[in-house]
């Protein structure tokens, strides 16, 4: 459910460090499962500067609407355009086709603050 090679924020965002140093972000399986059907996702534009701890995207589901908190600072270099027409990909494939943004980090050391898969599982089981 929560791949070991990813890092996780306490706010239910997964982070995948790509070979080129960029970081792909998405919503965790646990969070999307709680939200049920995601019907809308609003992502930042390419070039947007994101700040650690600040909202970077928003969503609407059959249960709620909320912002997602960014786990790292950096510049958006790509967004998942598929989510415009198919926001349900976040539910169907949260760690694959449901990814949200690709970020060029300005402070890569912020990744050291994130949780391992085991630490994230321990957090959500509390």
What is the distance between the alpha carbons of residues 5 and 55, in angstroms, rounded to a whole number?
A: 24
Distance of CA 100 to the CA centre of its chain: 6
> Under DSSP, is residue 109 helix (H, G, I), strand (E, B) or coil?
helix
In a domain, 115, yes or no: no
In a domain, 119, yes or no: no
Check residue 126 and give its pLDDT.
85
Please name which of 14, 23, 9, 3 lies closest in space to residue 106, comparing C-alpha atoms.
23
Region 99-104 average pLDDT: 99
Look at residue 1 and tell me whether its pLDDT is greater than 80.
no
In a domain, 19, yes or no: yes
Range of the domain at 59: 7-110
The model's confidence at residue 11, banded by pLDDT at 50, 70 and 90, is very high
What is the distance between the alpha carbons of residues 82 and 64, in angstroms, rounded to a whole number?
A: 21
In a domain, 91, yes or no: yes
Note the pLDDT tens digit of each residue in 41-97: 999 999 999 999 999 999 999 889 999 999 999 999 999 999 999 999 999 999 999
In a domain, 124, yes or no: no
How many structural domains does the chain have? 1
Rounding to the nearest 10 degrees, give the CA dihedral for residues 126, 96, 9, 125: 0
Check residue 123 and give its pLDDT.
95
* Cβ neighbours of residue 105 closer than 8 Å, sequence gap 6 or more: 21, 22, 23, 72, 73, 74, 111
Check residue 75 and give its pLDDT.
99
Higher pLDDT, 3 or 97: 97
Q: What is the mean pLDDT of the chain?
A: 96
Check residue 12 and give its pLDDT.
97
In a domain, 120, yes or no: no
In a domain, 53, yes or no: yes
In a domain, 1, yes or no: no
Structure tokens at 86: 């198919």
Kindly report the CATH number assigned to the domain that includes residue 31.
2.40.50.100
The model's confidence at residue 36, banded by pLDDT at 50, 70 and 90, is confident
């Amino acid at each position: 459910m929560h791949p070991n090679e990813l890092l996780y924020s306490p706010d239910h965002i997964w982070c995948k460090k790509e070979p080129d140093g960029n970081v792909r972000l998405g919503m965790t399986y646990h969070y999307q499962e709680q939200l049920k059907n995601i019907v809308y996702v609003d992502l930042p534009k390419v070039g947007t500067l994101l700040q650690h701890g600040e909202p970077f995207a928003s969503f609407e589901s059959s249960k709620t609407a909320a912002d997602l908190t960014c786990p790292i600072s950096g510049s958006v270099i790509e967004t998942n355009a598929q989510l415009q027409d198919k926001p349900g990909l976040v539910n169907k494939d949260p760690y694959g086709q449901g990814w949200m943004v690709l970020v060029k980090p300005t402070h890569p050391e912020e990744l050291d603050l994130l949780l391992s898969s085991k630490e994230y599982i321990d957090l959500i089981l509390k």
